[in-house]
Structure 1
Amino acid sequence: MTDIKIFVTYKEKHKVLKSDIITPIQTGRAIADEVFEDMIGDDTGDNISAENPKYNELSAQYWVWKNYDKIGNPDYVGFMHYRRHFLFNNKYNTLLNGEWLKGSNIYKIQRIDDDYIKQNLASNVIKNSNYKKYDCIVLKPYDVTKLNSKDIRTQYIEKVPEQHPENFDLFIKVVREMMPEYEEEISAIETGSVQYLCNMFIMKKDLFFQYSKFLFTVLERVRKLIDATYYTEQEIRFLGYMGEFLLSIFVMHLKKNKYKVLERDGIYVKETNYQEHLKPAFLDNKTAIAVSCSNEYTPYLSVYLLSLAEHTVSNSNYDIIILEKSITENNKQKLKDMLKGYKNISLRFLDVSGYINTKVKIPLSHYREECFFRLFAPELLSDYEKIIFTDCDLVLQDDIMQLNQFDLNGKPLAACIDFIMNAHYGLSWVDWKDYVGKVLGLKDIYSYVNTGVIVVDVKKYLKRQIRQKCLSIMEKQELRTLEQDALNSVLQTNIAKLPTAWNVMTMQKQMYDWQFLKAMSFYVKQQYLKDKLNPKVIHYAAARKPWLFPDEEMAEIWWGYARKTPFYEEIMARLIDFKVSQRPPAGTDYHTVYMMEHPFRNFVKKISYKIKKQIGSKAHRSKYKEKYNRINSKIEQVKNLKDQVKRI
């Protein structure tokens, strides 16, 4: 049994810190919407959990004080926050991200990772920090004049959101009346500028009990004197702020009376994304159906989900997980409500941004972050045996759980041959064949798969470190189709082939104009036409999506589902906005407008000029270099003109 316990307070879900010394505690659990299962709460025994909106993290301190026998009766007890910690290791590099507050000794780190825990929060580090030499440990005091405030009172009423000067003055009056022996320290808070921040401390047991009695006696009197009935969520936090003042008063008094007080540097964590570990939702199903999505794409995700739901069967369970970083709670609820009539469907959301940010070194300005989610899915869902991962720009026409029965033949992943890529190979004026063979290094270029629908063997994927190998390739060069290219390059022919009806990609009108069908290999074309007659998955992989181009191939099927979703009106509004945005503003170069309507032709021209500017005579090369630069400039103009489209 350790002689020290440090409690880390959590009001919301964040990365949980836990050890034989550090104990996570949920504050306000009595009134919380969700109970955090991986920590204790402040709502048992004698508690003020229901008053947490006023007391903030102090409701945890009250619980520890009143229920000390339940925590092992340690000699020392302390408190930190989920994102604010003591710097226990003075050798830890705190210079990388600057200060939390101007001129403070609280230093920023980007996020909590294993290295930070090992270097600063591990039990051996805390034990070696010599806390036993001191009666009390707090953060180094902070002078609010560094924030351009004259004194603490000014800082409280002008810089702390929605706090009232009369409450500060009442607080000073109360503590002065109740604790006259602290007069010198009270005056320092009333008129001075230096205080101890964050309600963070480590104290000997007897001092902790003395301080807690002092703290909550004063706060209880203040609470009774202030009518907070009509206070806003921010205003009602006044007792938590006053707790910092009382900590300052108490610690100043300790120092005056020659107690051994250590003032330490602190840490502020910038990113605190909670990474939930999802387990299978059904006991008899170890297969997840996963898809990545942004908030902007949520209306289109609803179409995908409805098509999936309408092709479920009663004797199967469907464990659907949306990997995301930005979907609003309102949109999540709309999706859940849409599927609530399907008792064999579980729909959950997993925010993966915090985890991925620690692993990806590629500048995200080059890619949408969602493109990485597919690569990380097996790590994030490691308790599953299989993952059926799909894009969301598709609709199901059959029961997706049929894919769970597919034999991967010992391979880590299964996918469909990319028939559209096959067509690219047959077009003489594009260089996809060279790109796939030489840049991606595929020994058999005709084995190239589309990753819009894949089945993953989780253990085999993790064992072969496929994600790491893919990212290594993506870090070295910009790939044309991102993680799809990387997976093909890494796995080569070690991909099981799904029946191609499970990923039937539509052709937009221009692709017919450019003879894509004719460019396909004979047997590929025959199979592609056969699959289109009875597709199990319709994949709208081309640039002209059905929600913006309802006259494209098979768009009517997509719209048939869209009309039944709760997002139909929003989808229609976006379509109208898009059509309006296509009207060029006055003075627009109509050659640019033509290019907007024919993006594939622009691409072909660019590739053609790129090749021609490298061959032939000097004059020939110069001519096509100029053409290449001109088409590049025009393409940039098109991008600028389409800015509005990107926002809808």
Structure 2
Amino acid sequence: MSDIKIFVTHTPNRDTMRVNNSLFYNVIAGSDFQTKEVPEGVYQDNQGDNISSLNKSYCELTTQYWAWKNMQADYYGFCHYRRFFSFSEKKIKETSWGTIEYDFLDQKAMDELALHEKAVQDYIEKYDFLIAKGVPTSDMNAKSVYEHYKKAPELHIEDAELFLKIIDEKYSYLSETARELFEGHTFYPCNMFIAKKELFEDYSKILFDVLEEFEKRADMSEYSREGYRTTGHLGERLAGIYYMYLKKQGKYRLGELQIALIHNADAETEVTQATDGDVVPVVLAANQKYVPILYTCAQSIVEHTSHDRKYEIYVFHTDINADSQKMFTDRLNRANVRFIFVNVSSRVAGYVLQAKQHITTETFYRFLILDILKVYPKVVYLDCDMIICHDVAELYDTDMGNSLIAGALDPDFAGQCNMKNSEMRQYCKNTLGLENPFVYFQAGVLVFNVTEMSKVVTVDKLLEMSDTGIYRFSDQDILNVVCKDRVTYLDMKWNMIFDCDHFRWQKVIKYAPYYILDDYENARKDPYIIHYAGFLKPWMKPDEDFGYVFWDMARKTPYYEQILSGMQHQGGGQNVTVDTVIEARAFKRTRKLLMKIFPQGSGIRRTLGKMYWRIFG
């Protein structure tokens, strides 16, 4: 078999995905600018003979130069961490931009693109030179390659003409083809190609000779950042010129490959347990919009940590940006506390995960603990709409035996179920399969027994259950179903749900069995964790129950002013509360009216209740 090496270029200081295929070699292009630790198995283009320091103008071509000078192969190929070739024998549907597009490079995409070792090997060995499929310039709103270059806002057509002049002087046999490419209607993008050794050697000699001469003569001292990448842009054109020149020779096996663009190209975080084994793993889940509240919760955790313990706080997300992540790591990391952001996009792709009412999609991410943090025997999960007032290490130390999960009873659910002729009680029995509704736990604070739970359920099964849409309280219901009869119950202090809208305590929880109501009222005296679960929050309406605790913590964060701003909007010169609060108030008035008209236990009230749950969840 031929020795095939396809070099995948990566940007410095970004942890991007790596294909699991022995033919692909991951290289940091511009490793001279790498400041972070280099991931295991990744090559650097500043080793041996190299031009890594020129990456800002040569772009990904510094990888090609390094491979040319330092690596031996029968075939050399080049692509990018988010752009790959398709080796499928069948044409795959493209977007209007001429690329096949995927959200993630998951197993389905790998299969469709035939990115498996044998398929890649078999395909490549049938050719001498393969290049990324040409794109018609009409698709780029240009009549020719020359016009496309000229219309680029940060490029300068004088550089293209200098480039052609250098080719005339040094490689006159390419001159005619070079002008045909620029005057033609097909552009070969991305510096992506695969070539047999002898052709690769010939092309690389020409390429770097021409580009070196160009950089000697051109003045790019006042160019923009993109303009300074002109050398790489010209190299892109030379790849097309060389391919067209080979076609004219009529003696080579040539082909064009479709390009696949991967939208989400961050590498999955690989979690390995700390060597000392005495780490408290905690999981939070949020999105970019929720970052101010997430940070406030995180700060409250950090303020109540013990100097004698180590804490790894994982944030599961799909869109929290690098600047926000840096805010956490710069300000909240301690010698014994570390924040790790885990993008879970690829793991939840393909599932609907439609949460109900005020519950967010991120609530389902706690299921992923079983896969992502399987190196830990136990993991603490916390919702973000909380203020932590006690050391979570004590929560982690809960003796669980062979229980699957530890959680606190849900006094709100218990109150709903204990009302006369409760439709919720029937739901608990008929849908959840819980004969006793008063063992139902609230899922905002949990300790997962990862070892035991992994024996009885998989993440895929949990996500499939969520896709059925039959559960009113989303993942909380699902966990109660799965963990039935194998629950360690926490003191309600660990998950004291606040009196939402000053309504929940006296209008719902008071109906709970007396011992649950007693536990709830005791928990309110000295809560370890205050959980702002409900449609209203202190950051929406400041006088909410235990709101002062939230605001005391929020004032210490860099997001305090942002939280204040988000709470209000301008209306007729007056600051008014957000629309959510207004809608909630209207709903409350309507609910009270209907409760008066249709007394508890009446058939029409039960019917209306069932209709409500079907429509709104």
Pick from 137, 145, 148 the counterpart of residue 144 of structure 1. Answer: 137
- 2:3 maps to 3
Shift of 1:213: 0.7
1:295 to 1:614, Cα distance in 2 relative to 1, 3 A: same
Task: Give me the whole-angstrom Cα distance separating, in 2, the residues matched to 1:5 and 1:49.
Answer: 20
- Does residue 99 in structure 1 map to residue 95 in structure 2? yes
- 1:214 maps to 206
- 1:90 maps to 89
User: Which residue type is aligned with residue 6 of structure 2?
Assistant: I
- Does residue 77 in structure 1 map to residue 67 in structure 2? no
Pick from 67, 70, 76 the counterpart of residue 64 of structure 1. Answer: 67
Secondary structure of 2:540's counterpart equals: coil
Q: CA contact under 8 A between 2:76 and 2:196: conserved in structure 1?
A: yes
Once superposed, what is the RMSD of the aligned Cα atoms? 3.2
- Does residue 316 in structure 1 map to residue 309 in structure 2? yes
Task: Give me the whole-angstrom Cα distance separating, in 1, the residues matched to 2:343 and 2:407.
Answer: 26
User: Which residue type is aligned with residue 79 of structure 2?
Assistant: M
Q: CA contact under 8 A between 1:287 and 1:385: conserved in structure 2?
A: no
- 1:589 maps to none
- 1:431 maps to 423
- 1:642 maps to none
Q: CA contact under 8 A between 1:548 and 1:578: conserved in structure 2?
A: no
Percent identity reads 28
User: Which residue type is aligned with residue 224 of structure 1?
Assistant: K
- 2:547 maps to 555
1:544 to 1:194, Cα distance in 2 relative to 1, 3 A: closer
- Does residue 297 in structure 1 map to residue 290 in structure 2? yes
Q: CA contact under 8 A between 1:94 and 1:109: conserved in structure 2?
A: no
For residues 349-498 of structure 1, what are the structure 2 equivalents within 5 Å? 349-358=341-350, 360-362=351-353, 368-428=360-420, 431-498=423-490
Task: Give me the whole-angstrom Cα distance separating, in 2, the residues matched to 1:282 and 1:252.
Answer: 56
Pick from 157, 161, 166 the counterpart of residue 169 of structure 1. Answer: 161
Q: CA contact under 8 A between 1:10 and 1:26: conserved in structure 2?
A: yes
Pick from 122, 130, 144 the counterpart of residue 128 of structure 1. Answer: 122
C-alpha distance after superposition, 1:17-50 (max 9, x if no partner): 1432111111112113434413111111111112
Task: Give me the whole-angstrom Cα distance separating, in 2, the residues matched to 1:435 and 1:308.
Answer: 36
C-alpha distance after superposition, 1:556-610 (max 9, x if no partner): 122221222222222223334389564799xxxxxx9986425345456679999
- 1:325 maps to 318
- 2:585 maps to 597
Task: Give me the whole-angstrom Cα distance separating, in 2, the residues matched to 1:87 and 1:318.
Answer: 43
1:273 to 1:449, Cα distance in 2 relative to 1, 3 A: farther
- 1:639 maps to none
- Does residue 48 in structure 1 map to residue 51 in structure 2? yes
User: Which residue type is aligned with residue 150 of structure 2?
Assistant: I
Query: If the length of structure 2 is used for normalisation, what is the TM-score?
Result: 0.90
Secondary structure of 2:79's counterpart equals: strand
Task: Give me the whole-angstrom Cα distance separating, in 2, the residues matched to 1:417 and 1:313.
Answer: 27
C-alpha distance after superposition, 1:185-204 (max 9, x if no partner): 01212322224322122212
Query: If the length of structure 1 is used for normalisation, what is the TM-score?
Result: 0.86
1:608 to 1:421, Cα distance in 2 relative to 1, 3 A: farther
Secondary structure of 1:78's counterpart equals: strand
Task: Give me the whole-angstrom Cα distance separating, in 1, the residues matched to 2:340 and 2:35.
Answer: 17
Secondary structure of 1:128's counterpart equals: helix
1:278 to 1:399, Cα distance in 2 relative to 1, 3 A: same
C-alpha distance after superposition, 1:517-543 (max 9, x if no partner): 431211111111112112211111122
Task: Give me the whole-angstrom Cα distance separating, in 1, the residues matched to 2:185 and 2:356.
Answer: 43
Pick from 143, 147, 160 the counterpart of residue 154 of structure 1. Answer: 147
Task: Give me the whole-angstrom Cα distance separating, in 1, the residues matched to 2:299 and 2:353.
Answer: 34
1:214 to 1:610, Cα distance in 2 relative to 1, 3 A: farther
User: Which residue type is aligned with residue 361 of structure 2?
Assistant: E
- 2:36 maps to 34
- Does residue 570 in structure 1 map to residue 562 in structure 2? yes
User: Which residue type is aligned with residue 99 of structure 1?
Assistant: T
1:29 to 1:613, Cα distance in 2 relative to 1, 3 A: farther
Q: CA contact under 8 A between 1:138 and 1:201: conserved in structure 2?
A: yes
Q: Give unpaired runs (5+ residues) of structure 1.
A: 586-591, 637-648
Q: CA contact under 8 A between 2:2 and 2:75: conserved in structure 1?
A: no
User: Which residue type is aligned with residue 305 of structure 1?
Assistant: A
Q: CA contact under 8 A between 2:420 and 2:600: conserved in structure 1?
A: no
- 1:643 maps to none
- 2:21 maps to 19
- 1:285 maps to 278
Shift of 1:389: 0.6
Shift of 1:545: 1.0
Task: Give me the whole-angstrom Cα distance separating, in 2, the residues matched to 1:317 and 1:491.
Answer: 29
Secondary structure of 1:23's counterpart equals: strand
C-alpha distance after superposition, 1:259-310 (max 9, x if no partner): 3132133131342332221323563335411101122222222221222122
- Does residue 185 in structure 1 map to residue 183 in structure 2? no
Q: CA contact under 8 A between 1:108 and 1:269: conserved in structure 2?
A: yes
Secondary structure of 1:230's counterpart equals: coil
1:31 to 1:606, Cα distance in 2 relative to 1, 3 A: farther
User: Which residue type is aligned with residue 302 of structure 1?
Assistant: Y
Task: Give me the whole-angstrom Cα distance separating, in 2, the residues matched to 1:157 and 1:607.
Answer: 71
Name which of structure 1's ranges 429-438 and 564-573 shifts more when overlaid on structure 2. Answer: 429-438
Name which of structure 1's ranges 386-395 and 596-605 shifts more when overlaid on structure 2. Answer: 596-605
Task: Give me the whole-angstrom Cα distance separating, in 2, the residues matched to 1:365 and 1:80.
Answer: 42
Task: Give me the whole-angstrom Cα distance separating, in 2, the residues matched to 1:581 and 1:609.
Answer: 35
Task: Give me the whole-angstrom Cα distance separating, in 1, the residues matched to 2:182 and 2:397.
Answer: 72
1:111 to 1:324, Cα distance in 2 relative to 1, 3 A: closer
C-alpha distance after superposition, 1:45-96 (max 9, x if no partner): 111112212111111000001112xxxx2211111222322222214x723x
User: Which residue type is aligned with residue 125 of structure 1?
Assistant: A
1:154 to 1:603, Cα distance in 2 relative to 1, 3 A: farther
- 2:189 maps to 197
- 1:500 maps to 492
Q: Give unpaired runs (5+ residues) of structure 2.
A: none
C-alpha distance after superposition, 1:159-210 (max 9, x if no partner): x452122222222222222211112201212322224322122212121111
1:331 to 1:517, Cα distance in 2 relative to 1, 3 A: same
User: Which residue type is aligned with residue 135 of structure 1?
Assistant: D
Secondary structure of 1:121's counterpart equals: coil
Q: CA contact under 8 A between 1:135 and 1:259: conserved in structure 2?
A: no
Q: CA contact under 8 A between 1:111 and 1:269: conserved in structure 2?
A: no
Task: Give me the whole-angstrom Cα distance separating, in 1, the residues matched to 2:379 and 2:104.
Answer: 29
C-alpha distance after superposition, 1:379-416 (max 9, x if no partner): 12222222101011111221101122112221222111
Secondary structure of 2:9's counterpart equals: strand
1:222 to 1:608, Cα distance in 2 relative to 1, 3 A: farther
Task: Give me the whole-angstrom Cα distance separating, in 2, the residues matched to 1:434 and 1:611.
Answer: 18
User: Which residue type is aligned with residue 28 of structure 1?
Assistant: G
- 2:101 maps to 108
